[in-house]
Amino acid sequence: MQNRTKILLQTVQNRILILDGAMGTMIQRYKLDEEDFRTPALANHPKPLKGNNDLLSLSRPEIIKAIHREYLEAGADIIETNTFSGTSIAQEDYGLSSLAYQINFESAKLAREVAEEFTLANPSKPRFVAGAMGPTNRTASISPDVNDPGYRAITFDQLGEAYSEQVRGLLDGGADLLLVETIFDTLNAKAALYAIQEVYEERNIPLDPQEGGIPIMVSGTITDASGRTLSGQTTEAFLISVSHVPLFSVGLNCALGAKELRPYLKVLAQNAPFYVSAYPNAGLPNEFGAYDQGANEMADQVRDFLKEGMLNILGGCCGTTPDHIRALAKMADEFQPRKIVEELEEEGSDV
């Protein structure tokens, strides 16, 4: 693990790393039914399970591995585990909280196996696994009841406990990084970061990747043209509120397309003492909720980020496919990665 961290830290200095695209978009192409989501042990489970994509790591692992392979073939350096809703909190809707650890462990194991296949086939292009940690379906900062603004459906401690279980499963399964993503409420993200710190401490894992720790990525979500997260933070406030942890990267994903994301990414690029990531949606959804932006159009919009030296890690979120990742990977080869703020300041001091 320490060796893979060292290789990752060397690689990110030399080129822009490519993250994969949407897992859900790819799963939809398989047109699965209820039975596909049921393992033999869940044959008589009383609740409907269709749509619980994380469960496919147990019931249809070959599909998840095939999707990982498609993204790696398209040029991805980092693939995300199929664990966006892998906490016991999110799994509670399906009555499957007890499977949270197993879902994370098996999802990380599947991704690790495929990443190893590609690394062995081409050692000059090592592949990495990011353990995906989604925001859960509850928020610690906002009341779900408009008539009771002080009410909270979840506590910080409950979030921390659920995230700790997820972290253990992801690490045990072989994740190289942990990615706290699609953050709409930074208090939820703080619970995730607290959980990561707790697990690292109990396992004697350094927090700082420069000291051999398992790198931590954080990615927030600006929900609309207001330039704020759902819980009301500006991009700069979001950055400040997660900077107490020695992160590998900070970035933005989801909700917006590349064009709309640009001004908020610029804030991170100018201020973050970490590497910067972006994985926008394939444009904005149409009236049916689908994403129409093609791979080349998305790449053209992202080109501006790269010309301005804003990014170190680039991928795709909702609506993106291996075609999008292929176009982004090809284009990223033309540009140098962003230098982090500390490096820029050091260069400036020599002038």
Report the C-alpha gap between 153 and 198 in whole angstroms: 23
Report the C-alpha gap between 108 and 291 in whole angstroms: 28
Report the C-alpha gap between 149 and 238 in whole angstroms: 22
Which residues, 6+ apart, have CB-to-CB distance to 66 below 8 Å? Answer: none
Report the C-alpha gap between 271 and 340 in whole angstroms: 9
Structure tokens of 350? 């020599």
Instruction: Give CA separation, 56 vs 20, 47, 169, in Å.
Output: 18, 16, 16
DSSP string across 181-212: EEES-HHHHHHHHHHHHHHHHHTT--SSGGGT
With tokens 């053209």, the residue in question is 300
Binding site membership: which residues? 254, 317-318
List for the chain the helix, strand, coil content (%; round to 5).
50, 15, 40
Helix (H, G, I), strand (E, B) or coil at 217: strand
Beta strands at 249-257 and 216-220: parallel, antiparallel or unpaired: parallel
H or E stretch covering 164: helix 156-173
Report the C-alpha gap between 34 and 224 in whole angstroms: 34
Instruction: Give CA separation, 135 vs 30, 108, 183, 232, in Å.
Output: 25, 18, 6, 16
* 89 within 8 A of 159, measured Cβ to Cβ: yes
Helix (H, G, I), strand (E, B) or coil at 136: coil
Using only C-alpha atoms, what is the Rg of the chain? 19
Binding site membership for Zn(2+): which residues? 254, 317-318
